[in-house]
Structure 1
Amino acid sequence: MSRLIFAALLLLAACADRTPDQRSTYRDRGTQIYSNAVLDPARLGGAWQQVASFAAKPGGCAPGAVQFGDVQGGTIPLDATLCLGGKMQRFAGAAQLDGPGRLQPLGTEARGIGQPWWIIWADVDMRTLVIGTPSGEMGFILNRGGPLPADRLTAAREILDWNGYDLTRLKLF
């Protein structure tokens, strides 16, 4: 009888909803995360290619892309199809400019692609962006103008590491 009760408890535990603290995270939440305080959002405009993302295992999906429009008051148009956590996610709409280097996609659930986007690094010529989230549930690198050079990849990896990301889970496309 005790085995039956134990088996039933295991089954219930397996079916229970996951709490937010149990969702996959790619960074140590105990490490402070910083957004780029000097970023000029007007310089984001244009097309960006996804060159890296965090995932629990290799594969899953192809790299995505992001298109930023021109800043309109306190928002910026955002059209994104990204491989996040090994799955394609899509957002089309506007993002609120919530602070220096911080964007909040509007009108979407605050999970996955709808989480706050913190731009934690941009190279001086705005060719590469590193975006993370305070939750650590997503992080990715965007580039424009061709392949990502080794020096900018090294810088991006250093920034991700400094913000608590587990670089062993960073997947390059």
Structure 2
Amino acid sequence: FEEWYSGMESINSILQYVRGEVEIGKEQVKLSRALSLPKFATGYMSEKVVGEHFQGVMFGVSIPLWENKNKQKYAEAQVEASLLVLEDSKVQFYNRLRSLYLKASVMQQNIAQYRREIEASRNDLLLQKALDSGEISLLSYLLEIGYYYDALVKALENEREYQLVLAELNAVAL
């Protein structure tokens, strides 16, 4: 189960989405760190004021003291939240698959046991012979054969439930 689960975990679209959110958050932290650095500007500037004209090279420094004050903390908190969501999603996914796997294995054992018991107690041919020879009445025959077919229907219903659980497990791979 563990090997199968690790393969399913790597291809699950929900977990891939959450992993992508974590990566985006990490890049957001890098961006907020970069935005908190001082910015330098150089260039040529011209300014005209009434009666005066200024032209020349310009140098500038912008120090973001309060501009991005809490953006880095916010981005780090978002990454932490994304990591917690990822862990929660992994646990939920694991528990869901584990319960389906255990249910399928128990159902498989029950179906095998049920089929063995039905085959061991198959008496439809004996009942037909007893009815033909007159040892039992038609009512007794119908009652006994009804029990047999009820057990057979129950076995088929269990098989159907088992196949539905298997289909749900296999749907994870899609």
Band the TM-score falls in, shorter-chain normalisation: under 0.3
Point out the structure with the larger strand share: 1
Q: Could you tell me the TM-score, scaled by structure 1's length?
A: 0.22
Q: Flag the structure with larger Rg.
A: 2
Q: Could you tell me the TM-score, scaled by structure 2's length?
A: 0.22
